[in-house]
């Protein structure tokens, strides 16, 4: 097993349980660093409700669905409850599940402890440098400054390119490419966007729920959720969830995606009622009911309305322009924070080259691939761990039965 992240530790548990002699090779001392930093240190371990259509892939959706359905959400929840002893608590408004302790460390330590109890031999500080096919479908795992390991089957769970300081720098993708696999073009996904020059520097730190749409010539995404103005641009779940459309539009050197924001849950009729002429009430007062103060001021200026005006003074065309800004505001952006901040890698190994039941490569026997290096990712909300758990488990069981 190469890589003791989310997918690799899950694969180790199920391979060892199925009777395989498992060696888990991990470059960092303890593995699972991405689990430790996930969900702000709380680990959003799974979604509480699953919408499969929210996964993104350039491979076959059908294959993706088969993989996800092979370990249904309810069974995954049961696994964490019963086998890891982690009670999961739902954050209802976001449909996310967290361990009741709110400690990501409990998830990481629990997975490694269970893998070890099942018989996995964990080798930390072990850097894998490559993989060579041997005769009779066996494999040689090349190690940095250590003798190679010859094995019956190998699972590559080395992650993608996101947040390289956690240990994953794309070696798994390199291995797969060298072995002839098609790698769908990779890109940072779930990453903050930048705006330089920023139209909203004075709003850094302001956050609110919004609906954000990214539209490029080739794709579109809409997300409702938290939005945060940062010193460099924009972050928060809604921004991360649509960021792939923006990132990919830049990578293709085409027209950059257009971002538009609806700044509150109010619809146009509700705003129309809120902005009706009524005595001496100020326009800013009406906006403040639904928006943070500083944002309300900036939006009024950008609609060309002096915030001190009263609702009675607002002309019909001004009201229409203001409602347009509130409902459909263009958000200027210039770039993204890249893999350093991306929660996951978009693109990766083409799912068509993987058996969806076992995660075995269709090009090489006894080679199994799982986790982030595959061409799929989901939105914020536990989807990416769900993918890692499901693919890891399938690969572990598949590899344990490889030569039967």
Ligand X SMILES: Cc1cc2nc3c(=O)[nH]c(=O)nc-3n(C[C@H](O)[C@H](O)[C@H](O)COP(=O)(O)OP(=O)(O)OC[C@H]3O[C@@H](n4cnc5c(N)ncnc54)[C@H](O)[C@@H]3O)c2cc1C
Which chain residues interact with ligand X by CB under 6 A? 2-8, 25-28, 31, 33-34, 37-39, 43-44, 127-128, 157-159, 162-163, 166-168, 171, 343-344, 371-372, 382-385, 388
Do residues 107 and 35 make contact, with C-beta atoms less than 8 angstroms apart? yes
The least distance separating ligand X from the CB of residue 379, rounded to whole angstroms, comes to: 9
The least distance separating ligand X from the CB of residue 157, rounded to whole angstroms, comes to: 5
The least distance separating ligand X from the CB of residue 267, rounded to whole angstroms, comes to: 31
**Treating both helix axes as pointing N-terminal to C-terminal, what angle do 293-302 and 316-327 enclose, rounded to 10 degrees?**
120
The least distance separating ligand X from the CB of residue 273, rounded to whole angstroms, comes to: 39
The least distance separating ligand X from the CB of residue 56, rounded to whole angstroms, comes to: 13
The least distance separating ligand X from the CB of residue 170, rounded to whole angstroms, comes to: 8
Q: What is the spatial order of strands in the sheet that 46-47 belongs to?
A: 46-47, 96-99, 88-91
Residue 171 to residue 363: CA distance in whole angstroms? 18
The least distance separating ligand X from the CB of residue 239, rounded to whole angstroms, comes to: 14
Q: Of 46 and 322, which CB lies nearer to ligand X in the complex structure?
A: 46
Q: Of 163 and 286, which CB lies nearer to ligand X in the complex structure?
A: 163
Q: Of 158 and 193, which CB lies nearer to ligand X in the complex structure?
A: 158
Q: Of 25 and 67, which CB lies nearer to ligand X in the complex structure?
A: 25
Q: Of 229 and 339, which CB lies nearer to ligand X in the complex structure?
A: 339
Determine the residue with CB nearest ligand X. Answer: 5
Q: Of 167 and 233, which CB lies nearer to ligand X in the complex structure?
A: 167
Question: For residue 3, what are its two tokens?
Answer: 């890589």
Do residues 97 and 382 make contact, with C-beta atoms less than 8 angstroms apart? yes
Q: Of 162 and 249, which CB lies nearer to ligand X in the complex structure?
A: 162
Q: Of 28 and 360, which CB lies nearer to ligand X in the complex structure?
A: 28
Can you say whether the dihedral through the CA atoms of 325, 228, 199, 243 is positive or negative? negative
Can you say whether the dihedral through the CA atoms of 157, 162, 168, 169 is positive or negative? positive
The least distance separating ligand X from the CB of residue 244, rounded to whole angstroms, comes to: 14
């Amino acid at each position: 097993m190469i890589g003791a992240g989310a997918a690799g530790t899950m694969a180790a548990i199920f391979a060892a349980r199925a009777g395989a002699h498992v060696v888990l090779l991990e470059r960092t001392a303890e593995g699972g660093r991405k689990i430790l930093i996930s969900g702000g240190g709380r680990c959003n371990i799974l979604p509480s409700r699953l919408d499969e259509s929210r996964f993104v892939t350039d491979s076959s959706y059908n294959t993706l669905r088969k993989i996800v359905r092979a370990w249904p959400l309810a069974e995954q929840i049961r696994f964490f409850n019963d086998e890891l002893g982690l009670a999961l608590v739902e954050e209802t408004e976001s449909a996310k599940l967290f361990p009741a302790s709110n400690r990501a460390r409990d998830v990481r330590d629990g997975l490694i402890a269970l893998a070890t109890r099942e018989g996995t031999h964990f080798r930390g500080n072990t850097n894998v440098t490559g993989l060579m096919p041997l005769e009779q479908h066996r494999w040689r795992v090349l190690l940095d400054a250590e003798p190679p390991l010859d094995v019956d089957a190998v699972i590559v769970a080395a992650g993608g390119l996101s947040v390289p300081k956690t240990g994953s720098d794309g070696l798994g993708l390199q291995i797969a490419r060298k072995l002839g696999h098609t790698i769908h073009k990779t890109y940072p996904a779930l990453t903050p966007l930048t705006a330089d020059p920023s139209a909203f520097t004075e709003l850094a730190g302001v956050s609110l729920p919004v609906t954000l749409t990214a539209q490029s010539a080739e794709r579109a995404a809409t997300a409702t959720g938290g939005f945060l103005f940062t010193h460099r641009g924009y972050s928060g779940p809604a921004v991360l969830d649509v960021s792939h459309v923006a990132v990919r539009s830049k990578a293709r050197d085409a027209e950059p995606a257009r971002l538009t924001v609806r700044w509150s849950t109010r619809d146009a009729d509700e705003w129309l009622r809120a902005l009706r002429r009524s005595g001496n009430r100020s326009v800013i007062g009406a906006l403040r009911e639904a928006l943070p103060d500083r944002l309300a001021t900036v939006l009024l200026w950008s609609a060309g309305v002096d915030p001190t005006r009263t609702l009675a003074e607002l002309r019909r065309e001004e009201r229409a322009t203001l409602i347009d800004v509130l409902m459909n505001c263009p958000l200027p952006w210039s770039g993204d924070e890249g893999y350093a901040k991306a929660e996951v890698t978009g693109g990766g190994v083409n799912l068509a080259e993987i058996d969806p039941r076992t995660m075995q490569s269709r090009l090489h026997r006894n080679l199994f691939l799982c986790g982030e290096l595959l061409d799929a990712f989901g939105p914020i909300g536990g989807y990416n761990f769900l993918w890692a758990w499901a693919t890891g488990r399938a690969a572990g069981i598949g590899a344990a039965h490889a030569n039967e």
